[in-house]
Amino acid sequence: MTDRELFEEAVRAAGYSYSKYSKFRVGAALLTVDGKVYTGCNIENASYSLTVCAERVAMFKAVADGATKFKAIAIAGSSTEDFSIPCPPCGACLQVLSEFCSESLLVILSKGWFRLSDFLPMRFSGDNIK
């Protein structure tokens, strides 16, 4: 799967967003090392702290299905039909990604790709607990 195809999966996932408060739809497409794609969308709640981001929905679906090795994640977010403005992951999502992914995880946004380490260079991991 190409980077562009994975990003388009994220855009499609954003179509399922439940974002009645912010009107900002986010979709994520998480690619496993064996080529399976898990998608997620943001799901808002009137009690804002209970809102869940698209990246975490995709990750939790994957882990619940037994997947734990990942190659890339694409993220698309917009309040319009234009998904050309990059929508980087929030801090909570970066921390969840870092639990299951290496620093070299490819993070695909509308304007290109990055590595997880570009967003979270000094991540907190299980190694810090040991």
pLDDT of residue 124: 84
Classified as helix, coil or strand, 69 is coil
Question: How far, in Å, CA of 95 to CA of 26, rounded?
Answer: 18
The CATH number given to 3-129 is 3.40.140.10
Tell me how many degrees the CA angle 80-5-62 measures, rounded to the nearest 5.
90
pLDDT of residue 11: 98
pLDDT of residue 63: 98
Active site residue 5: no
Catalytic-labelled residue, pool 8, 55, 99, 103:
55
pLDDT of residue 47: 96
pLDDT of residue 128: 84
Sheet (strand 106-109) strand order: 37-41, 25-32, 70-78, 106-109, 112-115
Residues of the chain with pLDDT under 70: none
* pLDDT single digits (tens) 89-116: 999 999 999 999 999 999 999 999 999 9
Question: What is the pTM assigned to this prediction?
Answer: 0.95
pLDDT of residue 82: 95
- Half-sphere exposure (CA, 13 Å, Cβ side) for 9? 21
Q: What are the residue ranges spanned by the domains of the chain? A: 3-129
